[in-house]
Structure 1
Amino acid sequence: MTTQTVYTFKWRCYIHHLLVNDVSGWIQLLQLWSQILVKCIIKQILVPLCQCWLESVSKNSLSDKLDSVRQQLQLKLVKSLKEYRNLYIVQHRIGGRLIYPESLRYLPLYILALCKSLALCGGYADVSLDEHCAAGFSMMILPARRLLNFIYPSLYRLDEALAVEPDMIDGALKRLPLTLQCLDTAGLYLLDDGFTFLVWLGRMLQPELMNDILGVSLSNFPDLSKIQLRECDNNHSRNFMAVLRALRERDSSCYQLPRVVRQGEQPREGFLLLSNLVEDQMTGTSSYMDWILQIHRQMRSSG
């Protein structure tokens, strides 16, 4: 018996119980619905659409097929939010608001990130076939938690966290939204997608802090792609390596290798960092704000 069959059976039994015994139990029904949807969302939405994408790779018109998959993702999101709205509106007056269960508050953001991922973004001329295949394969084999971190990487500011005591560093790391507005030119940031640690050096970052972490002076070592980070004999470097160890210990199934890029270093900054800022508007794609407004309009227009 599959997981989906078990959830479906429990769902039907619970509906029957509520209809026979307690009409007011619809509130509990909504809570159960959201819990089941959270458990099924990866298998029912993300994975099937990844499989649909893999089938589309063998077709001649790759860009058209990818666009079709992105539209399917958006349609499934609109339908799922509309279903929840129709159930919830029985007990509450909500007007024209966009509502969803608390456990799914990030679902629109994850769907947007999936549409902008290497597996589904652009077309044949924008991303190479090898990159499409590699990203699609990774998405299909990753467990749910790592999949979400892969399509929406974790962004941390480190220059402030390095000033605290070593045993408090893990608690000082605060995840930031993936938008250019969160990047300070005087800051040190780390992007973790589950496979790689990308260290971003702001243009105005203090030279002393930069040299302590890198172990070399940038004036003597201009090619950051060849830098190998190691622990040096200073507090900044020790705390920085402690941060990397703390993040790796959160998931021991993968060992992320660090890469370093500096603000304004093109084209490396573009494809290593800027392409991961999924909440910003990119070429041919919407920002997160525009995406939410579009979803809201589609829900209202569909009745």
Structure 2
Amino acid sequence: MADRALGSLQLAREHLITALVDILAAYRMHTNAASSPKGQLILPEPLKLLPLFILSSLKNPAIRASLPAGRTDRSAPPSPRVDERAFRIVSCCNSTAASVIARSHPAVFDVLQMDPDVGDVVSPPPEKSLDGESQPVVAEAMRDFVKLPPTAHPSITCISASSISLIDDGFSMYLYVGRNVAGDVLQDMFGVNGMDGVDTSRVLLQQGSERGRLLLTIVEEMQRDRTVRGDLKFVFAGSPGTSALEAEVMSLLVDDNTAHEVSYVDFLCAVHRKVQAKVVKDA
């Protein structure tokens, strides 16, 4: 049974890559892209992010391997475990397309570098008819919303050691505190001047501070329509008390090399080679 499950998992991963290669090869052979230089990977405009979505899916606990690539030592517990994988698969099968994308490609926000209007409540303008008169709109589609900060790529290059990042994987949210965050910021948000000798498991967000209130406002807005309202987890870089959570955060940086898969750039190169080989074979 275990071998059958492992085989099914591998088949699912291979099917995603094969489907991607087939789509890009067909576009190369049957459109104007056929005249493009052979050394370029040509992506149709509506599908420019498809390779990124496929790679993010391969790194997702739903179908990624339980052991890092090339590792055969089974003394350490698998990650994900069977129950976590099952939960992820069921959740994705019962989610909207937007939720599946959010759970595949995490969003990263820099908490300390936000525009002044982030957190403001915005009311959409009323819909206008052709004669300029205001028309009623569907409340659910045009309700007030809280302005969120712009997202950054889920990459270590977008996470500064002197800043605090909010990372959302669609299930949980991680507040990743860099090693070199200023003492006054730590005091304002967590009530401590530094993390040396501090029991990080007992550190709490200071909800009375302006940054604390703004952060909670953002988190509440992001969780408003979710069926799974995950916890906000505090991760302090380099702290032994949150080392396991820090490893989870690193696995969410899907644009980079992870323990299970290559980086996005390397993945594109591998896909390009497969597309070239298929085009030559089917020509």
TM-score, length of structure 2 as denominator length: 0.75
Q: Extract unaligned runs of 5+ from structure 2.
A: 68-73, 123-145
Checking the alignment, whether the CA contact within 8 Å between 1:280 and 1:288 is kept in structure 2 is: yes
Q: Tell me, what secondary structure is at the counterpart of 1:135?
A: helix
Query: What is the match of residue 159 of structure 2?
Result: 183
Number of residue pairs matched?
A: 243
CA distance in 2, matches of 1:164, 1:203: 28
Aligned residue among 289, 299, 302 for 2:265 = 289
Query: What is the match of residue 121 of structure 1?
Result: 64
Pick the structure with more helix per residue.
1
CA distance in 2, matches of 1:163, 1:241: 16
State the shift of 1:158 in Å.
0.9
Counterpart amino acid of 1:107?
L
Instruction: Kindly report the root-mean-square deviation, in angstroms, between the aligned alpha carbons of the 2 structures.
Output: 2.8
TM-score, length of structure 1 as denominator length: 0.71
Checking the alignment, whether the CA contact within 8 Å between 1:188 and 1:201 is kept in structure 2 is: yes
Question: After TM superposition, which residue ranges in structure 1, 4 or more long, deviate above 6 angstroms?
Answer: none
CA distance in 2, matches of 1:95, 1:114: 29
Query: What is the match of residue 264 of structure 1?
Result: 238
Aligned residue among 80, 94, 100 for 1:147 = 100
Kindly tell me: are residues 123 and 235 of structure 1, through their superposed partners in 2, closer, same or farther at Cα, counting changes over 3 Å? closer
State the shift of 1:59 in Å.
4.4
1:69 aligns with 2:12: yes
User: Residue by residue, what CA displacement relative to the aligned partner does 1:173-207 show, whole Å, maximum 9, x if unpaired?
Assistant: 11111111111000110011222221000111112
Counterpart amino acid of 2:109?
Y
> 1:78-157 to 2 correspondence within 5 Å?
78-89=21-32, 93-96=35-38, 97-123=40-66, 125=74, 126-127=78-79, 128-157=81-110
Checking the alignment, whether the CA contact within 8 Å between 1:225 and 1:259 is kept in structure 2 is: no
1:195 aligns with 2:171: yes
Checking the alignment, whether the CA contact within 8 Å between 1:186 and 1:203 is kept in structure 2 is: yes
Query: What is the match of residue 224 of structure 1?
Result: 200
Q: Which has the higher contact order (CA 8 A, sep 6+)?
A: 2
CA distance in 2, matches of 1:117, 1:252: 19
Counterpart amino acid of 1:213?
M
CA distance in 1, matches of 2:10, 2:36: 33
Kindly tell me: are residues 228 and 256 of structure 1, through their superposed partners in 2, closer, same or farther at Cα, counting changes over 3 Å? farther
CA distance in 2, matches of 1:165, 1:156: 12
CA distance in 1, matches of 2:148, 2:90: 34
Kindly tell me: are residues 299 and 178 of structure 1, through their superposed partners in 2, closer, same or farther at Cα, counting changes over 3 Å? same
